[in-house]
A = this chain, B = another copy of it.
């Protein structure tokens, strides 16, 4: 059943052009996917929603830095030492596998990575785990660097790595950000861009890709003035937490609390982290996932990245279980200090009293591809043997389908004219005349288009059109000339469907 839902989504995605495995004609390549037209649009809409939640209201800075990074950056940041995974090679076929994942699949244990190398070696032996490809014995697991390596300069020269996170480019450019923020803290730098992780065994469609898009924000603040001016706007939001203490005890039922209480009780170390976790929940809710399918789970110390003093994963309940869609890390002054040492450059900020300090950093980090899949799966509904994606209207890739009732008597021409008017008014509209009207409604529903405008004989005689709602299948009728304005208001979230016209 859960497996079915994943398959159904993947099947719609391929057939309708959301996404599919890359290099299909060459047999595919594990960990790489390609977004089609609907996918490209949905992805961009999620990006814009993220900006509306995290960047624009706060006046934060954006950055766009290279994917290829100098080795020295990752030497300073600690990634060369720490960005590694447990890899176990088959003694016979030579294939490598994630050792901790093999143990998880065999035993049902969680978070095996955090148990450390000795436990992993022991479990591989005790559980008699063999190669999933050929069933032969595996070698002892080793720690393998999972960054893509390349040489910069066509005839060699510098070693470079594709970035596995966008964060380091915010840190190495901190001084520029500080300058452009007019040397005032707190300020933040946000970045949306490609990152690459050379996973040993990619899996689960969009959830463990080798190339994916990250949306990351680094908030720089003075540890002696850690106030977040916007915290009171969200402190009453409810929140479900699995704190570090609860995780250590193996408790499974989250603490139901509010953002403000969670911070006051010390479950969340900084105001900024609490604030961004609340915004994160609002953002994911707006992507169509109700809060009762969301939770925040703290990392245990041994699970945390090398740079983090506290990390909460923002998890969403998917068909196969809880899945991380964002990480909220308190990176302290770790990274700026690392580059201060690595580059020998001053990375401090100046207080009004003249003292200097290395700023602290709170980081919300989102996997766009995971959010994308999440939005599809959570919007899926099966009704009357039809697939419907109830995507929120502000992220739906197509806003409105324009459909002539029949392909004669001037209706297609009229519909094409209306389609052009809507497109010129800035709406994302498609025109579809092929097949029965019922089949065209079904196609429109299956790709999550919120509204369908039907052009019929009354459009010619009475200059009215009908609009059909994807979610209720209700229809309203309105004068044709009012269409662009009312649709505009609808997609600006100013009105609801029933206000678009007179119910039929």
Contacts and interface: CB of A to CB of B under 8 A. Distances in A.
B65 A22 contact: yes
B25 A345 contact: yes
Contacts of A56: 423
Interface in A88-121: 89, 96
A130 interface: no
Nearest to A189: B37
A180 B96 contact: no
Interface stretch (A170-178, A255-263, A461-469): A170-178
Interface string A26-59: 1001011111110111010000000000001101
A73 B154 contact: no
A78 interface: no
Contacts of A69: 23
A343 B29 CA distance: 14
A153 B151 CA distance: 17
A305 interface: no
Contacts of A348: none
A36 B70 CA distance: 19
B196 A68 contact: yes
Interface in A352-397: none
Contacts of A15: 179
A26 B180 contact: no
Contact of A40 (B31, B62, B87): B62
A36 B17 contact: no
B43 A154 contact: no
A34 B173 contact: yes
Given A20-B176, A194-B194, A196-B68, A154 B144 contact: yes
Most B C-beta atoms less than 10 A away, residue of A64, A154, A169, A177:
A154
A96 B144 contact: no
A145 B150 contact: no
Given A34-B66, A144-B154, A154-B144, A25 B210 contact: no
Interface of A is mostly: mixed
Interface residues of A, number: 77
A339 interface: yes
A148 B150 contact: yes
Contact of A176 (B17, B65, B152): B17
Interface in A151-169: 151-155, 158, 162, 169
A6 interface: no
A36 B194 CA distance: 17
B63 A210 contact: no
A237 interface: no
A26 B64 contact: no
A23 B73 contact: yes
A35 to B, nearest CB: 4
A67 interface: yes
Interface string A7-26: 00000000111001011111
B180 A36 contact: yes
A494 to B, nearest CB: 12
B152 A149 contact: no
B96 A155 contact: yes
A478 interface: no
Given A39-B64, A40-B64, A72 B176 contact: no
Most B C-beta atoms less than 10 A away, residue of A36, A85, A200:
A36
A96 B41 CA distance: 42
Contact of A155 (B196, B200, B339): B200
Contacts of A87: 154-155
7 contacts: A29-B158, A34-B66, A34-B176, A68-B148, A148-B150, A148-B152, A153-B200
Q: Would you list the 9 A-B pairs with minimal beta carbon distance, nearest first?
A: A35-B64, A96-B155, A17-B180, A37-B61, A25-B343, A40-B62, A34-B65, A25-B345, A154-B198
Given A24-B172, A68-B162, A144-B154, 10 more contacts: A17-B61, A25-B172, A29-B158, A34-B65, A36-B173, A37-B62, A59-B430, A148-B150, A150-B150, A154-B200
